[in-house]
């Protein structure tokens, strides 16, 4: 595989319809979110919240050819005031029997409740190129800078089929306002495209005290992710196949890193698609001068190298950095207003080469996946005080291509 600096050309593909502005949902249904199943070409998760318990809810999805799928909802783990700032009853419907590469209109129906129509498009086959957008930590004031970055990115690239985020979606998981602000930032983009977040340390009170999260209950409630049938697998680590890529998600602040390492090896080894993308909150190389990511290197680096991962996306360090080691490309980014100083010290300590970095610069990554190339460009979404380099908001700061 070789890496080529590039500015990504537009991908010739169908474009999602213009997304209408967020609107109040009738009868208390809110925080609607699309997340992928293990087979996003044939099935789809739709989840939502209500302030009170309700039975008899279902999702109705209508394909472009008129075929209709109706799926009853089930009640899943909800939130509590002590762990996520409010009591929310959470529901999910798992739509199955869908057709690949097909647009579906969907709405939630219950007793005296019908939401407006929204839409999603199922994934295509392994040879179908697609575009995704990736965001770093949002964490603070999600209804401000993160909201603007997500909105601008999805409006500029309406053909993006998948949205990835590297964790720390909130700062204080026990504060209800923070989850409300997060869902403002996710709306309406996450109601029209699949959203994946890796769980960060803040959502589960790691490296943060005092803190209350109920073992990441808010995150586990709001985000419905698949199981791949791996022994002892938790829903915070999984993989999803879409087009020419397998996206593998890890939980880097959990206590079960040993089984996750085995899972990572399994996911990489069995991947029959051209590309392997790994999403993890804390990557193997820290971009902050006083950090040492030796644990991540111990548990995951040999596996990433042995089984030829292509691109590892992470956050946690609140800065932008890209580098390489043993044929694997590593990219750390931030998409919120909080920044740390940037350093290459831990990259060097881990035997990696940092090739690009930014200071106090929030970005989003535009990733175009084809059977023969993985094209990545980092677009500036916000500039903090004294940001470097001088790349303007909306311009490409970094770009490269991996080729087969």
Residue 14 has pLDDT above 90, yes or no: no
Confidence grade of residue 2 (pLDDT, cut at 50, 70, 90):
low
pLDDT at residue 13 above 50? no
- 335 belongs to a structural domain: yes
- Give the count of domains, the chain: 2
Structure tokens at 169: 């979606």
Query: What pLDDT score does 112 carry?
Result: 86
Location of structure tokens 């992928």: 36
Shared domain for 117 and 136, answered yes or no, is no
At residue 208 the predicted structure's pLDDT band, cuts being 50, 70 and 90, is confident
Q: 16-20, 75-79, 210-214, 359-363: which has the minimum mean pLDDT?
A: 16-20
- Decide if 14 is inside a domain: no
- What is the CATH classification number for the domain harbouring 145? 3.60.21.10
For range 334-361, the mean pLDDT: 96
Tell me the pLDDT band of 12, cut-offs 50, 70 and 90: very low
Q: Are residues 201 and 117 in the same domain?
A: no
The number of angstroms, rounded, from the C-alpha of 111 to the middle of its chain's C-alpha atoms is 33
Exposure string (b/e) for 43-53, b if CB count within 10 Å is 16 or more? bbbbbbbbeee
Please report whether residue 330 resides in a domain.
yes
Q: What is the pLDDT of residue 290?
A: 86
How many Å apart are CA 287 and CA 74, to the nearest integer? Answer: 42
pLDDT in tens, 255-288: 999 999 999 999 999 999 999 999 999 999 999 8
Instruction: Please indicate, yes or no, whether residues 362 and 240 belong to a single structural domain of this protein.
Output: yes
Domain shared by 99 and 189, yes or no? no
Q: Is 71 within a domain?
A: yes
Residues 304 and 201 in one domain: yes
Question: Is 126 inside any structural domain?
Answer: no
| Helices 176-186 and 145-156, packing angle to 10 deg | 20
Q: Is residue 19 part of a domain?
A: no
pLDDT digits (tens, 9 = 90+) for 113-147: 999 999 999 999 999 999 999 999 999 999 999 99
Same domain, 64 and 178: no
Asked if 29 and 89 touch (Cβ cutoff 8 Å), the reply is no
Q: Are residues 117 and 243 in the same domain?
A: no
Shared domain for 97 and 153, answered yes or no, is no
Residue 394 C-alpha from the chain's centroid = 21
Q: What is the pLDDT of residues 302-322, one digit of tens each?
A: 999 999 999 999 999 999 999
Mean pLDDT of 203-223: 91
User: Are 154 and 135 a contacting pair, CB within 8 Å?
Assistant: no
Q: Are residues 195 and 259 in the same domain?
A: yes
CATH of residue 117's domain is 2.60.40.380
Q: Is 22 inside any structural domain?
A: no
17, part of any domain: no
Given this model, what pLDDT does residue 11 score?
Answer: 41
Boundary of a domain, candidates 121, 141, 173: 121
**Confidence check: pLDDT of 25 > 60:** no
This prediction has a pTM of 0.93
> pLDDT value at position 17?
44
The answer to whether residue 170 scores a pLDDT higher than 70 is yes
Domain that holds residue 179: 2-9+132-403
Residue 253 has pLDDT above 80, yes or no: yes
Higher pLDDT, 85 or 290: 85
Of the chain, the percentage scoring pLDDT greater than 90 comes to 89
pLDDT at 4 (0 to 100)? 58
Cα–Cα distance list, 200 to 36, 44, 78, 145 (Å): 19, 24, 19, 19
Which pLDDT score, from 0 to 100, does residue 289 have?
Answer: 83
Is residue 196 located within the same domain as residue 327?
A: yes
**Same domain, yes or no, for 250 and 374?**
yes
pLDDT of residue 207: 84
Instruction: Say if residue 114 is in the same domain as residue 144.
Output: no
Which residues fall within 8 angstroms of residue 175, CB to CB, at 6 or more apart? 85
pLDDT at 20 over 50: no
Domain boundary among 60, 91, 121: 121
Q: What is the pLDDT of residue 181?
A: 97
Question: How large is the average pLDDT for residues 46-67?
Answer: 96
From 89, 121, 153, the end of a domain falls on 121
């Amino acid at each position: 595989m070789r890496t080529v600096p590039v500015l990504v050309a537009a991908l010739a593909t169908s474009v999602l319809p213009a997304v209408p502005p967020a609107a109040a949902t009738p009868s208390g249904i809110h925080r609607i979110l699309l997340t992928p199943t293990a087979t996003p070409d044939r099935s789809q998760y739709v989840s939502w919240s209500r302030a009170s318990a309700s039975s008899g809810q279902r999702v109705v999805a209508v394909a472009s050819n008129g075929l209709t799928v109706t799926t009853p909802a089930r009640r899943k783990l909800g939130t509590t005031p002590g762990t996520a700032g409010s009591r929310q009853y959470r529901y999910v419907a798992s739509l199955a029997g869908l057709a690949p590469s097909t647009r579906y209109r969907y709405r939630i129906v219950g007793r005296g409740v019908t939401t407006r129509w929204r839409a999603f498009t199922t994934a295509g086959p392994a040879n179908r190129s697609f575009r995704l957008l990736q965001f770093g930590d949002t964490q603070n004031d999600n209804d401000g800078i993160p909201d603007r970055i997500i909105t601008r990115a999805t409006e500029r690239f309406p053909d993006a089929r998948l949205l990835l985020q590297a964790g720390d979606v909130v700062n204080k998981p026990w504060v209800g306002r923070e989850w409300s602000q997060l869902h403002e930032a996710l709306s309406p983009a996450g109601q029209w495209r699949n959203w994946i977040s890796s769980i960060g340390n803040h959502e589960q009170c790691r490296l943060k005290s005092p803190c209350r999260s109920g073992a990441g209950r808010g995150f586990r409630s709001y985000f419905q992710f698949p199981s791949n049938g791996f022994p002892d697998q938790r829903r915070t680590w999984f993989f999803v196949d879409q087009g020419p890529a397998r996206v593998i998600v890890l939980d880097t602040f959990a206590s079960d890193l040993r089984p996750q390492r085995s899972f990572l090896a399994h996911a990489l080894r069995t991947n029959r698609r051209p590309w392997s993308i790994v999403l993890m909150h804390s990557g193997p190389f820290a971009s902050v001068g006083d950090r040492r990511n030796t644990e991540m290197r111990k548990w995951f680096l040999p596996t990433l190298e042995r089984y030829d991962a292509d691109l590892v996306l992470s956050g946690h360090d609140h800065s932008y950095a890209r580098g390489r080691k043993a044929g694997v490309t590593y990219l750390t980014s931030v998409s919120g207003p909080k920044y740390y100083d940037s350093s290459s010290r831990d990259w060097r300590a881990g035997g990696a080469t940092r090739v690009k970095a930014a200071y106090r610069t929030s970005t989003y990554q535009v990733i175009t996946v084809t059977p023969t190339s993985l094209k990545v460009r980092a677009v500036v979404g916000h500039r903090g005080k004294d940001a470097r380099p001088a790349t303007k908001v909306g311009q490409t700061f970094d770009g490269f291509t991996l080729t087969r």
